[in-house]
Structures are given as structure tokens and as C-alpha cells.
Amino acid sequence: MAKLTILEFPDPRLRRRATDVESVDDTLRQLIDDMFETMYDAPGIGLAATQVDVHRRLLVADVSSEKDDPWALINPVILERDGVEVTEEGCLSVPGFYEEVERSGHIQVRFLDREGAEVEAEFTGLLAVCVQHEIDHLDGKLFVDYLSEAKRQRIRRRLVKDQRQRQHDAAAAL
């Protein structure tokens, strides 16, 4: 098991569009385990492969309070959507910022599970919102893209400043 490094906005690698996973094998299952470890450790409720600089269509999520409902979705496709849900969203790639985003409240998704079996499942509420947020990552999209340019600019400046400060602190500690 290994904790992975999470890319932070405005890193251009977060804008890459992920390509389909071609084979569900032990290497992919190891990546899934590492993504769960990284997400639970953060702690977070969802993580897309894009966020750990792997540009394959894969995401993990667990919105349960007991952290006992892990979902790993490979090559997810939204077949149907319905309803509206407004949620205060955050993102491990946009640390410290939370804003309301409107998404579908109900989605039907087709994906492969960690054994490579095709699954169709219906998600509602926070899990539906989380899966939509993570699929956006696989398309190079971030929740800040739904905000005003002014808000996005403010978040970008703050995070770039924090990143420079950390870089500076790390160099000074050498």
C-alpha cells in the first residue's frame, strides 16, 4: 500500500482527459487500493485517477460515515440522469475551498468493477453528486469551473501563493 501525491489546482495536468482502462489486472487493483488509502487518509469521500496523475478512467468513492462502503468505478458512463441536487462541494485538489454546485440528484451508471465485471448501478444523493464530480475530473473538469471567473481567480491566486510558500519552506529546510 502506498499513499499517492495529489495534484492541486491550477496544475495543468488536472486538465488532461483520461482514456479508457484497457485491462483490469493486478496492477490496476494495486492502484485502486492506493487510491483508497490516499482518499481515506486525506480524509476525502472521492478521488479520481487524474488527481494522482494517472490519466485513466478510474475513480474511487466512499460517502458513508463509517467508511465501509467503498466504490471503485472503472470506465464509468452515465446512462441516465434525473433531478437536481445542490451540494456544498470541496475537492482534494482544491484544498480549503467549498462552494455550492448544482448537479443531477439521481444517475444510472455503467462501469467495470475491480474484477472487470460490467455493472449497472443507480446512485442518489451525495454518492450521485460525488460520482459526477469524479467523472468530471476524468474529463479535465473541476468544480471551480462551475463558479464565477472572479471566484475561480481568487481560489487560484490563494492556492498558487500557498504552493509557493510550501516550496519556499521545503527549500529552506534543506
Give residues 82-111 in contact with Co ion (rule: CB under 5 A): 91
Name the burial class of residue 39, with classes exposed (0-12), middle (13-18) and buried (19+) by CB atoms within 10 angstroms of its CB: buried
CB closer to Co ion, 95 vs 124:
95
Binding residues with Co ion: total (CB under 5 A): 1
Partner touching 42 among ligand QAP, Co ion, none, CB below 5 to 8 Å by kind: ligand QAP
CA 82/CA 103 separation, integer angstroms: 9
Neighbouring C-beta atoms of residue 103, cutoff 10 Å: 21
Residues in the chain: 174
Stretch that binds ligand QAP, among 14-22, 51-59, 128-136, 164-172 (CB under 6 A): 128-136
Name the burial class of residue 117, with classes exposed (0-12), middle (13-18) and buried (19+) by CB atoms within 10 angstroms of its CB: exposed
Stretch that binds ligand QAP, among 12-20, 104-112, 126-134, 144-152 (CB under 6 A): 126-134
Is 134 annotated as catalytic?
A: yes
Give residues 39-98 in contact with ligand QAP (rule: CB under 6 A): 42, 44-46, 87, 89-92, 95-96
CA 16/CA 132 separation, integer angstroms: 17
Q: Residues in the site for Co ion, rule: CB under 5 A?
A: 91
